[in-house]
Structure 1
């Protein structure tokens, strides 16, 4: 008889958040259920609810986790001074990160729920955290930081719509400019 080793609570919590990121990304906040998340995580629905309390709390934690991953990726890009301008390093780090469709789509769902009391507050706090990071820690001027975030939102839209897969000339042109001219790399990242 095979015995399963119990995961520590922190690892189990992380596995729920990873599964929830995928499920929320695919189905959106309204369409996802804690039961679907439990199935994706390979645990009971009761454990999901016991751990997070509600679907809203779980979604907020997924959003905070995504923002935390962006913060970590940006700080690593800032520290890895490889001769390229900091905005270029940040952009490459962001493209690598949002190639994970779960994170990408969860962020888009987060932004679309701005009018929700708890979720909207979390989205605003997260977005401003990233703005402050690129302005203060990366040293971008406010106009450069806002331009950088605007390009990031364009990248989000391109990836969410899967425009990188389109053969239409206007789509190729838009995607090529959105990814800094390296369409091949952008397509490879989006395919993961």
Structure 2
């Protein structure tokens, strides 16, 4: 894309989409790219291409790649906590017991797999702790989740450990692209079914669609 073509495309985007929607569009595209390639493996040009705009436009809106990653991580963690709080509130309103409330919060975590790159972006943030700014944001976000589970949802220590451990397993399996083995390895399929439950089938279908698109 030439610089003139890029400016024309960016102007068109600016004229027909409010700034908040443009920002959300770029964050969504960045979540998918960062989630798949990681912080170090991603460029702002790759994010721009995924969002259908120019790289200078991304830089003008977010600044550096680090600033963009931090905003994506912050947005993802906020979305996670909102989903947890909504599920918990609905469960309390239904009069669920402790076990059912925990299951509702866990289901909300699984439901977020429908957001492209959501869980793998969280994983990328957590494993990038050596980057000072990213590490600080990841630690703060993880503690926010812990505080919700203990202070709002009322989980005790063992339940917190079990919940967080299961969540990390979920993200790790997506991060190492275990769904790619579902059709060829019975153990991989069994592990995924045990981990993802009813969400296993849509996750596998999404992976098949992604691979088909890459080879089209």
**For the residues of structure 2 that align with 1:85 and 1:150, how far apart are their CA atoms?**
18
**For the residues of structure 2 that align with 1:32 and 1:130, how far apart are their CA atoms?**
26
Pick the aligned partner of 1:159 from 165, 174, 177.
Answer: 174
Deviation at 1:33? 1.1
Q: Deviations over 1:146-183 (max 9, x none)?
A: 2200110011122333435255444344334323xx3x
Pick the aligned partner of 1:45 from 52, 55, 60.
Answer: 55
The alignment yields a C-alpha RMSD, in angstroms, of 2.1
Alignment of 1:66-145 (within 5 A): 66-81=76-91, 82=94, 83=96, 85-145=100-160
Pick the aligned partner of 2:191 from 174, 179, 182.
Answer: 174
**For the residues of structure 2 that align with 1:9 and 1:104, how far apart are their CA atoms?**
26
User: CA contact under 8 A between 1:135 and 1:145: conserved in structure 2?
Assistant: yes
Could you list the runs of 5+ residues in structure 2 that have no partner in the other structure? 1-11, 207-216
Deviation at 1:185? 3.3
Q: Could you say what secondary structure the match of 1:188 adopts?
A: helix
**For the residues of structure 2 that align with 1:91 and 1:169, how far apart are their CA atoms?**
25
User: CA contact under 8 A between 1:70 and 1:94: conserved in structure 2?
Assistant: yes
Could you list the runs of 5+ residues in structure 1 that have no partner in the other structure? none
Pick the aligned partner of 1:32 from 22, 38, 42.
Answer: 42
2:93 is the counterpart of 1:63: no
Q: With structure 2 as the length reference, what TM-score do the two structures score?
A: 0.78
What is the aligned length? Answer: 187
Q: With structure 1 as the length reference, what TM-score do the two structures score?
A: 0.87
**For the residues of structure 2 that align with 1:189 and 1:105, how far apart are their CA atoms?**
13
Q: Deviations over 1:54-78 (max 9, x none)?
A: 0000001111111111101101110
